Structure 1
């Protein structure tokens, strides 16, 4: 009778929007690396301002010298890549400012990166910003993408991770 009373369920992890803007399905990103989910599953956001915030509590695992992306490992083990724009690696860091470095501990909503949105729009292929769980196959979790159309930093849950 009390068998299920003490069953411990794994809590869900919510990943919040790291960028303000319009949410677009990853499949619609005009770059096959992202649209074909070669790096992992996720969503994309057409940014409305030049700020990237932590989508969850965790640790920074990657900030390339070109500052066009940031990688974070959430406390649940999910590794999230926020890639600002397409073909932005060729800008060699111009227009980007990293506010964190590898190894930093961050809380959801902390500013990770700022960027000059107009500069990106004028000098990169596209400003669309993929947000991808790069190790989803290895975590044993199921990732559910939002159906929301508008992303608000720290408010909009864009991806939910739950036990399979």
Structure 2
């Protein structure tokens, strides 16, 4: 179960969390991502977005737990304990940070909708295998169910992508 500490020190159980789109664009099922690491859910279940702009927003309230050295991916732990990988484009690690600007630091607390990083979308289109950006729950063993909310177009920070139901 997701657990959240309240200010008074008491613990509250969070059974369900909503994950909002971190990018604006077209929502794609994870099994349609043209990379087997993601489409075969080796990293976990989730969705992907084909972005229409270069801003990446926090999909939940939580903490930045990892910024990858090539600046192409960020991991966030939600207040409920879900660990969410935001991976911008495919085979973008080879760009070694070019075209990306991270505006947060590891350990930083963020609110849903906060700007995490920006990227040069035309540069990524030109230099990466794809702009399709997977959003994956990497600690899925703590989930009972992941419900995909929608398909089609999503707006960063506004559109729900999926809900996570914790194991009880």
Q: Determine if the TM-score, normalized by the shorter chain, exceeds 0.5.
A: yes
Q: Indicate whether 1:61 and 2:65 are aligned.
A: yes
Output one character per residue of 1:76-112: Cα deviation in whole Å (capped at 9) or x when no partner. Answer: 1000000000000000000000011110000000000
Question: Between Structure 1 and Structure 2, which shows a larger proportion of strand residues?
Answer: 2
Q: Aligned residues, how many?
A: 156
User: How many angstroms does 1:10 deviate by?
Assistant: 4.6
d(CA) in 2 for partners of 1:123 and 1:50? Answer: 15
d(CA) in 1 for partners of 2:86 and 2:48? Answer: 9
Q: Which runs of 5+ in 2 are unaligned?
A: 1-11
Q: Which runs of 5+ in 1 are unaligned?
A: 1-7
Relative distance call for 1:140 and 1:20 in structure 2 (3 A) is: closer
Question: Cα RMSD over matched residues?
Answer: 1.4
User: How many angstroms does 1:161 deviate by?
Assistant: 1.1
TM-score under structure 2 length normalisation:
0.89
Q: Indicate whether 1:41 and 2:41 are aligned.
A: no
User: Which of the numbers 152, 155, 158 marks the counterpart of 2:158?
Assistant: 155
Larger C-alpha radius of gyration, 1 or 2? 1
TM-score under structure 1 length normalisation:
0.91
